[in-house]
Structure 1
Amino acid sequence: MASVKKDDRLTSSQSFMCVGFAGIFSKTVTSPLEVVKIKSQVGTFHCKRGFWQSFLLIYQNEGLRGFWKGNLASCLRLFPYTAVHLTTYRKIVHLHMDELGSISQWRAILAGGLAGFAAAMMTYPLEVAETRLIVQSCRHPTYVGVVHTLSNIYRNEGLPALYRGFSLTLLGAFPFSIGCYAVYMNLDRLWQEPPFRFTPLQNFINGCLAAGVAQTLSYPFETVKRKMQAQSGRLPHFGGVDVHFSGMIDCFVQVVKSKGILSLWNGLTANTIKIVPYFGLLFTCFEMCKQGCLYRNGYIVSPLSYRLAPGVDQSLGPSELQEAKRYLKNRSFGSGESSLGNRW
């Protein structure tokens, strides 16, 4: 999947905050598409008439706020997910590096998959809360807020309900990783040049293409997962799910039997349309935050451009650069005192 590139001129906390803020902004802006996608996957009545009519029905029944249901839970999930994912990924990569500090692409993808699994396990209850909040009606809500959703599910349905469908996260990771690998292995053929010559625009297209292929391959697993998250005997209409089932396998069977195999890709249109604006906003917002941090650290002359500060060694880390500045400042101050003393 497309991801922002690491810049050693940022501190760890700055990188984390830039990624988090960019993720929150892009998720919030594209939330209407996410709402339509999840409602289509669950099978609520809003999405029976197709993609465009879904927006109209949601607006008529729930108003504008209906397009941002569950967005808070989705945004809250970003920070712990990113922290756990980065920490786990670095540890796994460090274990599999050779003597020269390199790692094969297969192992890097595997490390990314395992890190994603660990992060998903830590934050999965928030994903369940997001689904429940999106599927319910704004006019007759069962849940009020993220905390109330989590506590209500735990109290009425038990801890297993907060992890219902989690096994599909692991199963869906395999086709997702295969899709990413297949795209990145053929990029040189697509552009007819080696990867190190790719422009930022090419890298952005590559990321969107990889995300599109990977998400399409793993989409049936996510559809069943969303149905399992939404279904509950304690909710009106069993949570709004369009089929009733007793477990993961039975859910696949019932969906294919009653709706057809293509219904496993319900909501794919909204998901595909969402990819380009989501990653575009993610990269743009990240770069804007990054420019502000680089300006604050002293690497560039303005937070509005990447024009490098004259005389600054860009290879130094933030702490090393500040130490060098203090050294030069003290040195110039000392030489000034010395020349003053000599004059007297």
Structure 2
Amino acid sequence: MDKQGPRAAARGDFYWLRKFVAGGIAGCCAKTTIAPLDRVKILLQAHNHHYKHLGVFSTLYAVPKKEGYLGFYKGNGAMMIRIFPYGAIQFTAFDKYKKLIKEELGIFGHVHNLLAGSMAGITAVLCTYPLDMVRARLAFQIKGEHKYTGIIHEFKTIYTKEGGFLGFYRGLMPTLVGMAPYAGFSFFTFNTLMSIGLDQAPNLFGKPSLDNPDVLVLKTHVNLLCGGLAGAIAQTISYPLDVTRRRMQLGAALPDADKCLTMVQTLKYVYQRHGIQRGLYRGLSLNYIRCVPSQAVAFTTYELLKQLFYLN
């Protein structure tokens, strides 16, 4: 048999399934890495009354004192249920959209990464949004003040008390509006940095892929750096819409829920009541701390799994 035979066969068998699994695992690894920071971000964004007087680092100190260290992982079970399909769909859809944009629209260069990333992020959100809402509300609960006893109970409560299936899509519009620039600039920045690095200094930044020595891939530490920069830039652009999304998702869990019924209404209310720094950008410093390792781990894990699963 040709020495390329096993590799070629591996590439051909269940290619899209392997790509789907690689994306899902990458997403789970990324979110587990920053789960404690994610919980604190939700508490600060929505001004939880137990922590609203605290900053990022004081909240990180207060949560284990009040709820124990497992309090950092409240809602993480729902997050894993959501993030596996989210990561899988996003990474798989990105490659599909990128190919489609090139072949059907004839758009090349780095712009197609921006468009494909935006479309992939929107696709992933539409498919997994109800799970994101459930996770957010579980993470917002404080020990001893549980409105929901678990994932199933929360699904039933939202369905029966908040308008049926439409109740699961509260806050969808700011999520989609925010996801387009976030996912778009995230994939755009990472792929642009990767292509520049491999083109300009292949020996310094690149190495042969494990599954295909003819293909150059970024070295692990360079991958981590590019992923972190991509996340930081994307978060800065889209953060106010992330705050809006969270407040709309939490809905009845907030005392001022009646003032946060639409995207525009919520943006206006948060700005007028809390301003820019302590309202629209509240918790951003934490987001920089969390998005850098999150995106770094996501892109690096995905690129590594592409090699292990013979996807290059």
Instruction: Tell me which moved more, 138-147 or 210-219.
Output: 138-147
Paired residue for 2:35? 31
Structure 1 residue 160: deviation in Å?
A: 2.2
Residue 220, structure 1, aligned to residue 224, structure 2: no
> Cα deviation per residue 1:119-149 (whole Å; 9 max; x = unaligned)?
2011000110011001112212111222221
Contact 1:180 1:214 (8 Å CA) reproduced: yes
Deviation at 1:215, TM superposition (A): 0.7
Code of the aligned partner of 2:266 = C
Which runs of structure 2 are paired with 1:1-344 in the superposition (5 Å)? 12=15, 13-45=17-49, 46-98=51-103, 103-158=108-163, 159-176=165-182, 179-180=185-186, 183=189, 187=193, 194=200, 198-199=205-206, 200=219, 201-232=221-252, 235=253, 237-238=254-255, 244-262=259-277, 263-282=279-298
1:277 to partner: Cα distance: 3.1
* Aligned 8 A contact 2:115 2:184 in 1: no
Residue aligned with 1:134, SS = helix
Larger Rg: 1
Number of aligned residue pairs:
283
Match of 2:3 in 1: none
* Contact 1:44/1:242 (<8 A) preserved: no
Judge conservation of contact 2:27–2:86 (CA < 8 Å) in 1: no
Question: TM-score by structure 2 length?
Answer: 0.76
Note closer, same or farther for the CA distance 1:226–1:285 as it changes in structure 2 (3 Å cut).
same
Provide the C-alpha distance between the structure 2 equivalents of 1:195 and 1:144, rounded to a whole number of angstroms. 54
Residue identity opposite 1:75 in structure 2:
M
Output the TM-score relative to the length of structure 1: 0.70
SS in 2 for 1:231: helix
Distance 1:178 1:14, change over 3 A: closer
The separation in 2 between residues aligned to 1:121 and 1:98, in whole angstroms, is: 25
Contact 1:47/1:53, CA 8 A, preserved across alignment = no
1:109 shift after superposition: 1.9
Is the Cα contact below 8 Å between 2:134 and 2:155 reproduced in 1? yes
Flag structure 1 segments of 5+ consecutive residues without an equivalent: 1-6, 295-316, 319-344
Distance 1:266 1:113, change over 3 A: same
Deviation at 1:269, TM superposition (A): 1.7
Separation in structure 2 between the aligned mates of residue 175 and residue 157 of structure 1, nearest angstrom: 29
CA contact (8 A) 1:43 1:242 kept: no
- Find the aligned partners of 1:122 and 1:147 in 2 and give their Cα distance: 18
In structure 2, list runs of 5 or more residues that go unmatched.
Answer: 1-6, 207-218
**Equivalent position SS for 1:139:** coil
Identity, % of aligned positions: 32
